[in-house]
Every structure is written in structure tokens, then in C-alpha cells.
Structure 1
């Protein structure tokens, strides 16, 4: 067992213990992250991306009472309006020991707060990063966030972990010169961030590593290893492969992968490459699609062709009073049944997505616990192969409509694009027209009304 703490923080405030053993093959790791005042996190573990500081569809008290979630990711661009300093979050006056960030979003004490500049997954912006700013997408449009403003905002908000600024290229075609610039900018931004004497020393800095080959950022990695190691508490990556390319470099620092694995198969690959914390936005996406996750890592070796989830939009569940997943001990499965969830989805009740989130988070927590147990026993590789054989390669395709999509959640493609949400209340327009005509005193005959029907209702009589 080896223990490494960030010397820039008091030893009792932040620590990461990495356990080594015969099972540590191909980068696979097992450890424990401890931050003062928060629940200790056994790694590998999941991090839940938030929307405007809140886990979608569930309230903060629900997080405390009905989930085991231990870490959330918060994006600064979610709170920026016209300028960072004028946003309401910066006008908070929290009571100690709460920070402005934790107080504003009412984050439960059990959850570790991680602050980064952009959402996960981030929306591609039309403007690109500059030498001193990061291109972001806010609720009032695309903007440039000055790196110094981001660093100052992080100090002011006081998250448990701050993600270091990084020049991440979002375009598909990237030139060699642009990749070199990405490494140079990230290096310079990290250096400048560490040079600033922080007012709030309780926030640990995770230095960002762009998704580049090690040789392209060898100078940066060298500085992280030798010069900055005492000031950096962890590493944040934007590609699963980055952790694997580090090999024995900085292995004693926790690694947070700010990635978007699309299903549990991809998640297993990310973990196998040596990532300790992984963002999992696909959980919320699955819930919004009306799908209840149904998979276990400890699967029978003979199992084949099993689905990764249950589509509760399917009419086959309309009278099914069995739990969402047999044997699941979550609140949703012990208190409700498939027919009820099917009804809620059909009625577009918000409670449907709340109950699905509770269930799917429970499935994911059990999944990670089984992964950690397999690492301890040295059976991870064998069980991963069994899992790949047992389950479909993709999540079930959604057949129903999810909740309303907010404009800042989707990339804008320019003028003339279709509306992101279909018109729900269009059928009321005709009734509004009829009411307006009735109030104006203009009689408008109904096209589909028969004279005999009017007579039966006693509203008139036939004249010979």
C-alpha cells in the first residue's frame, strides 16, 4: 500500500490511497479518495454531471435519502449570464463550513463537488479557444471565458476539487500545429494557475491533460512530475486512453476521466485503462429515454443475448405489477411496479424520470461495487469478457419521448433549423380561435356538425 497526499493541502484534508497488487494489470487500479467533511470514495467510482448544479430529475433530499452518490461535476458555464462576476451564485453569503457553490446548489454533505469550466458532454462552440480564454456555451449564448476569471471564480466558489483549465480542441479535423498549441496553452494555463496564491486552500487542483500523445506534451508531463507535483492533487483527462499512456508517470495521483462512455461496455474499457473516477452522463440519458437499467457485473458465464435495460414505454408493461428489476433493492423497485412507471411515462408525469433516476443510479452503484470486488479478487478481466458475451452491445433504443429538451443542451446548426421540441399544445389553438370568434359575435359554422345532431341536442329544429 502506498499513500500520497497533496502537500499544498493539510494532510487530513485531501488524500488518495492507491493499493497495488498482482491484480494491477494493464493500468487497472483500486484506491480510496478522502476529502475532509465528505464520504470516503472507493475507486473506481462514478461522478454524476449536473445541470445548473442539480442532478437532473431528483432533488437534493432525494439524493441524500435514496441514493449512494458520492461525487458530482458542476460546470461554471451553467451559471454564467452576461459575465461571471455578476451571476447570482457569486452573491451568496454561506454559513461556514459551506462554500458559495455548495450553498447555492444545496449540495448534500455526502457528495464531493467538482468544478470545471464546461459541461459534460460539452456543446461544440462556433468560436475557438484563444491564448487567454475558453470558448463556452451559456444560457444567453456563446461566450469566451477568460482563464484568469475561471481561476478566480473557482477560488471564490470553493469546490472540493477544481479542474485545471485546458485547451481542448472540439473540431474533428485537427492540424499538428493546433495539437502542439493545445499542449502549450494547457501547460501555460496550469503554470499560471499554480502561480496564483489561492485565497481558499481547501480546494484541490486536478491538472488537466489534453487528449494528446505523451510525446506531444512530454515537457508538460515532466513539469507535472518534477516541479508541480507538490501543488497538484490529481489529474483530469478528456480521453480514456490518456490514463493508459501515462504508464508509471504520476501513478500515485487520482485520475478523473471527463469522458462520455455511452454504455457499461465502454465504461468497463475506461476503467480497465486506469481511470479512478469517471463521469457517466449516459445514466441520465437512459432515464430520460424511459429505460430502466437491468444489468449486473457478476453475470453467469452461460448468459447470452440479455438486454441492458427495459423500455417502460412498451405497452407490454401496462398491466405488469412486477418490480422494474427482480431482486433490485432500490426505492423504485420496492415501492412501485412497471405498470405504474408505464402510466407515468404515458401521462408525461415528471415523477417517471425521478423514479427511473433513483433506480438507474442504484444499478450503477451496484455495478461499480461489483467491479471493485472483482479487482480485489483478480477476476476483473474474466468477468468483463463474460459481461461482453452476456449483454447486448448497446442500450435499448428509445421508443417514447423524453422530458423537454432545453435549448442549451443541443448544438445549434444555424438558421432554418427545426424546433427542438414538437408542439404539444397545438390542438388547443383551434379552440382558442373559436372562443375568440364567439366573443366577437361572429357566428362560424362547424364544418363537421350535422343538422340532425343539433336537433337531437335540442339546440334547433328542422324547418320545412
Structure 2
């Protein structure tokens, strides 16, 4: 489909064009995704994961000006409070667009917005899914999200792409009966979603069918109906396992694929792309930035060395006087405006700007990585370069050695009463220190400077230099 035809697409339509021939048969897919009103997206591409609608540590204007992020994923559970339909997002007026979600999170017009029921990665919930709802983790605790509420919310929020509800099992041990139930529920929920959309007289966002991580024979009826009855009404599919891309029926092969997983490193991204996934969530980018790690990898490494780290630790004291950029010749804002010593200082001082600059750099490196993969696909060298990349770099991102920003509630599971605090106490009571200072100034007492400094250090108010 040419650009002029894509520009005339109705607002609810999506165009996905794949390059055919040997490239498509090899498993990897090179294509272009076009949604009316948004810039065309070359695929494979990455999806940035958000927290309450924003990428952590970067404001929306920074995303627009200093990054090339073109796809963002938002989880409905991020916005739900006591009642799904009474949260502030549902009272948002649509001034600048037809999407209440986009206006609420002030998403740049150049970003395509994807709405799903849960954030990525999702926190495991203690309560199970039911025949008509899934378990979610909200800012006010664990709740259940009914299918009807999700459908209604999606119609009100009007994201560019809405993912259907799927019964995803998160436990490690799953019985055969539970697997069958997961397939039946996901099938029924897709049927009911399409029926509700047909009865509604409001505009509908583009719908992607969600496929649970099951074997094809375990959900054969669901896949059959997607191929035969529902294909004209769904414009793409989403998985919770990258391996699912290789098991799709032939009739669904031409649909765009979203991979809703949490890859641990760039190696996992290469594997997901090799399996034929088009759009891949990359939550590990934010985790890496928060750990003070700067990415340095490339699909086409300049040297033949093996076991190279994919990034380096800015907490390391060796960076304290290093005036070189994070990566030589990198064109991101952090590398062209600042140096390693400055970011090391920001981390040591617990300045929020440290994580902002690291996010800008790391997302730039991911974008360049995807560009390199697409170029390799077009040249027919993807397989060779991906093998060379695997040999050249460590499969794991370096571990954190310093203290990152405060942990957010949805980042780790709560185990019940009496558990330790997730964040170290930043500040203690100041009254005792204020009294000692007053006594020292009045001459009533003259506490030793080292003792007073030690007390201040214990309270988290500074570090004593010796």
C-alpha cells in the first residue's frame, strides 16, 4: 500500500504491509505499520512501557524532543482506583484529540498508544481470574476487572490500539483443566468483545486479539475462529510469549504481532525478532537506567572480542574523572551534551537528572539497535549478524552496584504483614539534631564535630568525609 493510500485510511483502520519473498519465509519480518493520524512505523520496532501513562523519568516533552519513541504501552490497571468507571481518567475532557487516554497522559502526537488490561511486566495477583474477570493490581490494592468494565473503559479511552482480554495463567504449575479453561475463556471474551463493539454506536479503536501462551492444539477452536470468523474485525494479534509467533495459523500470518513480554537483555530481543515478532515491549530499559547502567552494545560490534558487557556501571568510581561520552559517536542528548563524570556525580548525589539522562541514552541505543536489525534484514545479513552479536556480548545486563530511585509499589510483590520496607529511610527525625545544633551555638554544650557529623550521617542527611 503506497503512502497516499495509507493517508486516506479511516481513523479506525490500520495498515500493515510486509515485505514478501525469502525474507518472510525465513521467519524474520520486515514491514511497515500505519495508523491514521500517526507516523508510519517501520517494523520490527520496540514498545516503551509506561507507568500511569508516562515513561518513568522522562516527561512527555522530553520524549517528543529527545527520543525516537514511537510506540507506548499503557495498562488500564494503572488508572483504576476504587471503581473502574470513577477514576479521574474517565472524567477527562477531550480537548486536543478524540482520545481521552491521550489527553489525560498528554501523549505526543507522534506516539502510537497501545492499551492493555495490565502493565508490563504485570505483578502477580493472589486472587485468581474468573469466568468473567481478571485479577489486577491497582494503586489501592488487588481487584478484579470485569470484561464488561474493560470493554466500556476501552470505548471511553479510545487508544490507537486496544488489546483484547485474555486469561493468562501466571502460576508455574498448571493443570490440564486450567489450560483448557484459559483457552475457553479467552475465546469467549473475544466473542463477547466483538459483539459489544458491534452493538455500540461510538467510534472504536483498532482491536488486537490477545492469544494466551498455550500450545496451538490447546486453543485450536479459538485460533480457528480468529482465522475464519473474526479476522475481518481484528487487525492484529498479541502474545505473552515470543515463541507464539511461530505457531500462528497461516490465515493470521499477515497480521501485525505484538509481543507482551519482559526480555531480560538485547539477546532476548534478537531471539524474539528472529521468531517473527513485529512489536516488542522492552521494560528492561527502564530497569537498566534505574540501576545506573548505560548501554554500549551494537548489532555490528567493531571488534571480534567475546563476552563483552552490553553496558557499563556508572556507579563505578573509575567514571568520576572520565570526560568521555557514554558511547563514542553516540548522537543522543546525554552523550552530545554531557560526559561520564557528570552522570557519575549525579548518581552519587541522588539527582533525578541522572536517570533522565540514562533513559534518553538507553532508549536511543535500543532505537539504533532496531534500525540495525531492520537494515540487516533488508541486506539479508540478519542471521549472520545476530550470531556474531550473541558471541560478542554477555547474555546478561550488568548488575546494579548503587542505590537507584525509590521503588514503586507495583515493582515488587507484597507478601503480607510485617514485611520490611521496600525503600531505605531517607530522612530521620530532625528535632534531636536541631537541639544539638542549638546547644552548640549557645555554648551550653560543645559536642564533638565528628560525633555530630556521625549522627547526621546516620539520619541520612549527608556523608562524613575523612
Q: 1:151-208: per-residue Cα shift (whole Å, max 9, x none)?
A: 1000000000001001011111110000000000000000000001344434100000
**Deviation, structure 1 residue 26:** 4.6
Following the alignment from structure 2 to structure 1, what is the Cα–Cα distance between the partners of residues 173 and 278?
30
Q: 1:264-292: per-residue Cα shift (whole Å, max 9, x none)?
A: 00111111111100000000000000011
Counterpart contact for 2:259–2:279, Cα < 8 Å = yes
Following the alignment from structure 1 to structure 2, what is the Cα–Cα distance between the partners of residues 212 and 42?
29
Residue 86 of structure 1 corresponds to which residue in structure 2? 86
Following the alignment from structure 1 to structure 2, what is the Cα–Cα distance between the partners of residues 205 and 358?
31
Residue 45 of structure 1 corresponds to which residue in structure 2? 45
Stretch of structure 1 that moved more, 372-381 or 185-194: 372-381
Change beyond 3 A, Cα 1:360–1:199: farther
Residue 280 of structure 1 corresponds to which residue in structure 2? 282
Residue 377 of structure 1 corresponds to which residue in structure 2? 379
Counterpart contact for 1:283–1:360, Cα < 8 Å = yes
Q: 1:14-46: per-residue Cα shift (whole Å, max 9, x none)?
A: 111111121234521111100011111110000
Counterpart contact for 2:324–2:339, Cα < 8 Å = yes
Residue 463 of structure 2 corresponds to which residue in structure 1? none
Alignment of 1:263-342 (within 5 A): 263-300=265-302, 302-342=304-344
Following the alignment from structure 2 to structure 1, what is the Cα–Cα distance between the partners of residues 449 and 397?
46
Determine which of 409, 413, 416 is the counterpart of 1:414.
Answer: 416
**Deviation, structure 1 residue 301:** 6.7
Following the alignment from structure 1 to structure 2, what is the Cα–Cα distance between the partners of residues 2 and 261?
34
Following the alignment from structure 2 to structure 1, what is the Cα–Cα distance between the partners of residues 29 and 179?
29
Q: 1:409-461: per-residue Cα shift (whole Å, max 9, x none)?
A: 211112221110011223847415758999xxxx89969999xxxxxxxxxxx
TM-score (norm 1): 0.91
- List gaps (5 residues or longer) in structure 1: 451-464
Counterpart contact for 1:301–1:386, Cα < 8 Å = no
Counterpart contact for 2:12–2:206, Cα < 8 Å = no
Matched, 1:117 2:117: yes
Stretch of structure 1 that moved more, 196-205 or 341-350: 196-205
Structure index of larger Rg: 1
Residue 33 of structure 1 corresponds to which residue in structure 2? 33
Change beyond 3 A, Cα 1:425–1:249: same
Counterpart contact for 2:227–2:249, Cα < 8 Å = no
Following the alignment from structure 1 to structure 2, what is the Cα–Cα distance between the partners of residues 429 and 233?
62
Following the alignment from structure 1 to structure 2, what is the Cα–Cα distance between the partners of residues 433 and 129?
55
Matched, 1:140 2:140: yes
Following the alignment from structure 2 to structure 1, what is the Cα–Cα distance between the partners of residues 27 and 249?
7
Q: 1:219-240: per-residue Cα shift (whole Å, max 9, x none)?
A: 0000000000000010010001
Residue 173 of structure 1 corresponds to which residue in structure 2? 173
**Deviation, structure 1 residue 13:** 3.5
Aligned length: 444
* Aligned-residue RMSD, C-alpha: 2.5
SS in 1 for 2:252: coil
Counterpart contact for 2:12–2:204, Cα < 8 Å = no
Residue 102 of structure 2 corresponds to which residue in structure 1? 102
Change beyond 3 A, Cα 1:259–1:228: same
Stretch of structure 1 that moved more, 241-250 or 205-214: 241-250
Following the alignment from structure 2 to structure 1, what is the Cα–Cα distance between the partners of residues 303 and 215?
37
- List gaps (5 residues or longer) in structure 2: 452-466
Counterpart contact for 2:73–2:116, Cα < 8 Å = yes
Residue 21 of structure 1 corresponds to which residue in structure 2? 21
Residue 462 of structure 1 corresponds to which residue in structure 2? none
- The runs of at least 4 aligned residues of structure 1 exceeding 3 Å deviation read 9-13, 198-202, 426-430, 432-438, 443-450
Determine which of 349, 357, 377 is the counterpart of 2:359.
Answer: 357
Change beyond 3 A, Cα 1:186–1:315: same
Residue 406 of structure 2 corresponds to which residue in structure 1? 404
Residue 62 of structure 1 corresponds to which residue in structure 2? 62
Following the alignment from structure 1 to structure 2, what is the Cα–Cα distance between the partners of residues 265 and 337?
27
Q: 1:57-101: per-residue Cα shift (whole Å, max 9, x none)?
A: 001111111111100000100001101111000001112534100
Counterpart contact for 1:19–1:31, Cα < 8 Å = yes
Following the alignment from structure 2 to structure 1, what is the Cα–Cα distance between the partners of residues 18 and 2?
6
Following the alignment from structure 1 to structure 2, what is the Cα–Cα distance between the partners of residues 253 and 182?
23
Counterpart contact for 1:294–1:309, Cα < 8 Å = yes
TM-score (norm 2): 0.90
